[in-house]
Structure 1
Amino acid sequence: MRRTSARFRLAGFAAIATAVATLAGFTAINGATASAAEEADTYVVGTPAGYGRSTTGGAGGSVVTVSNATDFINYAKSSSTLEIRVNGTINLSSMTKVASNKTIIGVGTSGRITGSGLNVANANNVILQNLTLSGSNDDAINVQYSTNVWIDHNTITGANDGGIDIKRASDNITVSWNRMYDQDKNMLLGHDDGNGSEDRGRLHVSYHHNWFDGTNQRNPRVRFGNVVHVFNNYYDGVGSYGVASTEEAGVLVEGNYFENTDDPYHCGEGDSDPGNLRATNNYFTGSGSGQTCGSVGGVPYSYSLDSASSVKNNVMNGAGVGRI
């Protein structure tokens, strides 16, 4: 299984491609709208699985294509509902705000963001898809005080801090079909041990069909989120540890494929107290057996679970940019 969501071609594109769009006080003509050739190879996003299943992003809004940082930043922070197509390399100098009701999607394999990352802050209903994010001077993707977010089919490498960090009362998020490599602190869930007043009852995140390709730690590292669902991911050569459950978290680790990973999952991390972790139906080769603790309930949604032994092939053939 390479994808859990449906794909649909965008209708009515021709009218958008020739229109003049006025958005958040500035006007984009011709070059900032999508071309017919780009549309022919681009699919509108379908529906995610898991906690982020209600996310629709910029569906129903205008479609624009950007190839420079100025246009990208202006559209990303706009209050309008937009599908922003990235065609080319966007060089950012600092974390760029992504506002509500946005889809940011790479065109083919050409959508690249480098230099810094994306900050989904105080936002609702955001999709980030089919982007290569490399060499950020901070996080590649930061999500805080935000709900209904889908991070899907991206390739992430070389961020100075986190690959995908989710924190500060964020909720109802799916992280799926991403490939991460050359990344140390990969995926943090929960700001710090003292942030329970914001995070208890929130931080519901589904991580599925991601390729942790030699990422060292935090795949993810969880505080307070309960139940966090980690399923059908491929862990290959993970150095320090895979999943850590801490500080009242409840993590269900299900149907994953662990290869050459000495410490697949454990309870507690650093100065953080142990959380709860339940593991079931995982596959191990050249790896440790992992540590479980406490009790963890089920997730409040239906989902399709691949057999753990098939996950490596499915994820390697489906995760990252250009695989949707």
Structure 2
Amino acid sequence: MNPLIVGSNKTLVGEGTSGVLNGKGLILAGSNIIVQNIHITNLNPHLVWGGDAITIRGTGNTANKNIWLDHVKISSIGRQMVVINFAGATAVSISNCDFDGRTKYSTSCDGHHYWGFLLLGKKTELSLIGNYIHHTSGRSPKIGGHNGETSVVYAANNYFFENSGHAFDVSTGGYALAEGNYFTSVKLPSANDPKGNFLVPTAPSDCRSTIGRDCKLNILTNSGTLKGTSQGKVASQFANVKAMIKGYNVAPATTFSVGTGNFGVGSLGNSVAQSSPKQSVKQSDGNPVEK
């Protein structure tokens, strides 16, 4: 497998659509790292332990910080699309990415990839903004799961499409807030682990104590129910990031429209996280056209 190791203060940017890592993953082993416009693919998709696409890990008890994954595409891999573990990572943003779970080697035997995101670590704080997460069957994302660890995730304006299993799986030590996301054909938008802490607003005012403003509601079509668990415990864990989230201009939940270039590789100028919602997100009736 031999992943490429990226140290601190590095930027990895692909040119056009030619920035492809074929059969290689990345380990981000430092802080202040940007990975942009890169496609990771063909990473031993036939092997369950065939390799993670992007691994973010701190050293000892020191968490990585300031990590940005933007306009990245991940497809046809053996294990996790993104994993954070060990000491964890803070100030992590994943935006405008295409997480493509279509596979010939499906553990659920339906052409869907199970291992999406595994977000662990002693201290992890992460935002998922404007991503297209599709044809998966689990861990989309998996947040927490270990005693003594804390994983805090803010998810907004993502489009979840064709998930035959579960999307959000918030477990022990996991704290998450989801607003303005759109779910189409997702069997279980949430796994409903009673050990997790997951704020899902049913009214705009539900988020005021947690992020200091009203939320945009999530929308579900042809999908199961998105449920919160232990929602009152989420606010305390969002104290460190409350000010930043409060200032973020969330768009109303919508599918990603065909041809807007707002996710994946090849187009960096028109995206949820980089321009106004009116420019970047429009209503669509179906599956976006892949680039």
Q: TM (normalized to structure 1)? A: 0.64
Tell me the amino acid that sits aligned with residue 169 of structure 2.
Answer: A
Tell me the amino acid that sits aligned with residue 176 of structure 2.
Answer: V
Q: CA deviation at 1:289?
A: 1.3
Task: Rate the CA distance shift 1:167–1:314 in 2: closer, same or farther, 3 A.
Answer: farther
CA contact (8 A) 2:16 2:267 kept: no
Counterpart Cα distance in 1 of 2:259 and 2:183: 12
Task: Rate the CA distance shift 1:314–1:174 in 2: closer, same or farther, 3 A.
Answer: farther
Tell me the amino acid that sits aligned with residue 133 of structure 1.
Answer: I
Aligned pairs, number: 217
1:229 paired residue number: 154
Q: Deviations over 1:129-175 (max 9, x none)?
A: 10110022411110000221001101101111111111222221001
Counterpart Cα distance in 1 of 2:160 and 2:260: 11
Q: CA deviation at 1:240?
A: 1.1
Counterpart Cα distance in 1 of 2:198 and 2:4: 34
Q: CA deviation at 1:127?
A: 0.4
Residue 22 of structure 2: which of 114, 139, 142 is its match? 114
CA contact (8 A) 2:143 2:151 kept: no
| 2:241 aligned with 1:288 | no
| 2:251 aligned with 1:306 | yes
Q: CA deviation at 1:311?
A: 4.2
Counterpart Cα distance in 1 of 2:56 and 2:154: 18
Which consecutive unaligned segments of at least 5 residues does structure 2 have? 44-49, 59-63, 103-112, 202-216, 269-291
CA contact (8 A) 1:234 1:315 kept: no
Counterpart Cα distance in 1 of 2:85 and 2:258: 29
Percent identity over the alignment?
28
Tell me the amino acid that sits aligned with residue 109 of structure 1.
Answer: T
Q: TM (normalized to structure 2)? A: 0.71
Task: Rate the CA distance shift 1:314–1:256 in 2: closer, same or farther, 3 A.
Answer: farther
- Secondary structure of residue in 1 paired with 2:164: coil
Report the structure, 1 or 2, having the larger helix content. Answer: 1
| 2:45 aligned with 1:142 | no
Q: Deviations over 1:246-290 (max 9, x none)?
A: 01211101110000001011332xxxx621001121001000112
1:185 paired residue number: 115
- Secondary structure of residue in 1 paired with 2:83: strand
Larger radius of gyration: 1
Task: Rate the CA distance shift 1:227–1:316 in 2: closer, same or farther, 3 A.
Answer: farther
CA contact (8 A) 1:154 1:320 kept: yes
Task: Rate the CA distance shift 1:246–1:129 in 2: closer, same or farther, 3 A.
Answer: same
Q: Post-superposition, which runs of at least 4 consecutive aligned residues in structure 1 deviate over 4 A?
A: none
- Secondary structure of residue in 2 paired with 1:263: strand
Q: CA deviation at 1:231?
A: 1.0
The alignment's C-alpha RMSD in Å is: 1.8
Q: How does 1:146-185 map to 2 (within 5 A)?
A: 146-169=64-87, 170-181=89-100, 182=102, 183-185=113-115
